[in-house]
């Protein structure tokens, strides 16, 4: 799970870049990847939840993901904070 907060003026651009990643994933269809991104109701906080295969990160091969990451530090007021997480409970959720 990765959480970060964008500058208000960068939030829509960040969402556009995220959408481009999902369009590329829809085309590439990497196996064994579960991935979801949420924009919280404050409009500037984003949370990415990924379940990756043990041996690789399919996102690393997606050019749109590299473009999304390229200037993420400049878009953020709170930098991405990656955390490992364990499922405690789930109902009809893949991520």
Q: Which residue has the higher pLDDT, 52 or 10?
A: 10
Contact 5, 44 (CB under 8 A): yes
Domain 2-82 CATH (choose: 3.30.70.100, 1.10.1740.10, 3.40.50.10470, 3.40.50.10240): 3.30.70.100
Query: Coil, helix or strand for 11?
Result: helix
Listed residue (39, 43, 45) closest to 5, CA to CA: 45
pLDDT grade, residue 79 (50/70/90)? very high
pLDDT digits (tens, 9 = 90+) for 17-67: 999 999 999 999 998 899 999 999 999 999 999 988 888 889 999 999 999
Does residue 95 carry a pLDDT above 70? no
């Amino acid at each position: 799970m990765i959480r970060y907060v964008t500058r208000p003026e960068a939030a829509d651009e960040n969402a556009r870049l995220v959408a481009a990643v999902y369009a590329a994933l829809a085309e590439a269809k990497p196996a064994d990847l579960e991935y979801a991104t949420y924009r919280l109701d404050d409009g500037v906080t984003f949370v990415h939840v990924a379940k990756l295969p043990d041996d690789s990160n399919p996102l690393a091969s997606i050019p749109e993901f590299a473009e999304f990451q390229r200037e993420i530090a400049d878009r953020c007021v709170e930098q991405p904070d990656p955390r490992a997480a364990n499922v405690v409970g789930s109902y009809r959720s893949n991520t």
